Amino acid sequence: MRKASMHGTIVETSGAAGIDVGKDWLDVALAAGEATLRQPNHAKGHAAIVGFLRRHGICRVGMEATGGYERGLLAALGAAGFQTLVLQPRQVRAYATFRLNRAKSDRIDARLIASCTAAAAPQEGRDARDARLLPLAEHLTVIEQIEEDLARARVRREHVSEPRLIALQATEIARLKSLRKAELERLEADVLAHPDLARRFQLLISIDGIGARTALALIVRMPELGHLTREEAAALLGVAPYVRESGRLKSERHVAGGRSRPRKSLYAAAQAACRRWNRQLIALYDRLTRAGKPHRLAVVACTRKLIVFANAVLARGTKWNTAQ
């Protein structure tokens, strides 16, 4: 069964399914057809779901990000060869609003996710077929949490004056910095243990301004890089400018959406690169600021240029040439 998607393309709804993920239960529904399935969220349940999807000719499966309850299922589906999209909850809510769907149950949510999966373009969800990235993403999340703790500790140090408390915060900062360094080294070693991921890592760090920390974030959080157009890469990160015009209203373009965690990493890299490391970004930043653009807008433009560079080197499979 085919229908037109919101993008005007034709999607095959008969090959799509949705799964409502809970801590204890998984509810499966098809985009076309009435068949449903409920299984416990453990290995036997995952195997039963794989068999159910195969019997119904499903090739594309969607689910919402739940903060971890979906990881085991994603690994099972990826190993079985399914194209698996992890959708943002707000994508599914917006689709429910569009369909005027106010009813809610696990089964209804699964069918809604199935319809949303069928309508979504591939770049609108995270393709999670590479099960190797799941534990790496979990490790990276822990590192990001350590970095957040480190930032909070630095703020606390600035707001104390008693010597003992200053020393206490200094000790905590040193501990967190040491822990962050050790975990980053371990994550890098885990990535480099896979030849294809190691190759991606070397390509990314060849770009002036992208260091090991940023390269790890792109490898783990944006596995689609190298298979996208430059416009799709910018949109996936959330740095593509969107026009806002209606009638007489003609406002400035704004960025929106995208993946916040890798965007945060690349934005931080761009802030340094546009001042010191990357001559192309330095030229872009200077041109924009001389034209009166604010600092933040200029850095976002440099961030967009960096993700285009990253996508290009991964697509070509050759290291970055500073002359290009």
Q: What is the per-residue pLDDT across 160-170, written as a single tens digit (0 to 9) for each?
A: 999 999 999 99
The arithmetic mean of pLDDT across residues 181-207, rounded, is: 95
In this structure, are 222 and 324 located in the same domain? yes
d(CA 300, CA 297): 5
Q: Which of 140, 171, 193 is at the close of a domain? A: 193
Q: Which of 111, 126, 141 is at the close of a domain? A: 126
In this structure, are 144 and 28 located in the same domain? no
Return the structure tokens found at 85. 């999209």
Between 158 and 66, the higher pLDDT residue: 158
85-99, 190-204, 244-258: which is most confident: 190-204
Q: Which residues of 166-189 are buried (b: 16+ CB within 10 A; e: fewer)?
A: eeebeebbeebeeebeebbeebbe
Between 57 and 89, the higher pLDDT residue: 57
In this structure, are 95 and 145 located in the same domain? no
In this structure, are 289 and 166 located in the same domain? no
In this structure, are 93 and 6 located in the same domain? yes
Sequence-ordered alpha helix ranges (H) in 71-229 = 71-79, 89-98, 106-119, 133-158, 163-192, 195-205, 212-221
Q: What pLDDT shows up at residue 3?
A: 46
In this structure, are 26 and 117 located in the same domain? yes
In this structure, are 86 and 187 located in the same domain? no
In this structure, are 302 and 207 located in the same domain? yes
67-71, 130-134, 314-318: which is most confident: 314-318
Q: Which residues of 214-233 are buried (b: 16+ CB within 10 A; e: fewer)?
A: bbbbbbbbbbebbebebebb
Q: Nearest 5°: phi and psi at 59?
A: -120, -15
Confidence tier at 35 by pLDDT (50, 70, 90): confident
pLDDT digits (tens, 9 = 90+) for 42-76: 999 999 999 999 999 898 898 887 767 788 888 88
- Overall number of domains in the chain: 3
Q: Is the pLDDT of residue 11 over 50?
A: no
Q: Which of 193, 210, 242 is at the close of a domain? A: 193
d(CA 27, CA 24): 10
DSSP state of 36: E
Q: Residue 32 is part of a domain; what is its CATH number?
A: 3.30.420
What are residue 83's DSSP bridge partners? 60
In this structure, are 155 and 119 located in the same domain? no
Side-chain-side CA neighbours of residue 239 (13 Å) = 26
Neighbouring C-beta atoms of residue 12, cutoff 10 Å: 15
Q: What pLDDT shows up at residue 115?
A: 86
In this structure, are 182 and 198 located in the same domain? no
Return the structure tokens found at 187. 């994550």
In this structure, are 151 and 62 located in the same domain? no
Q: What pLDDT shows up at residue 250?
A: 53
* Radius of gyration, alpha carbons of the chain: 22
| Least confidently predicted of 32-46, 128-142, 301-315 | 128-142
Q: What pLDDT shows up at residue 289?
A: 92
The arithmetic mean of pLDDT across residues 290-310, rounded, is: 91
Q: Would you give the distance in Å from CA 45 to the centre of its chain?
A: 27
The arithmetic mean of pLDDT across residues 92-114, rounded, is: 79
Q: Is the pLDDT of residue 208 over 80?
A: yes
d(CA 4, CA 8): 6
pLDDT digits (tens, 9 = 90+) for 230-271: 888 888 888 877 555 555 555 555 555 568 888 899 999 999
Supply the range of the domain harboring residue 322: 194-324
In this structure, are 106 and 59 located in the same domain? yes
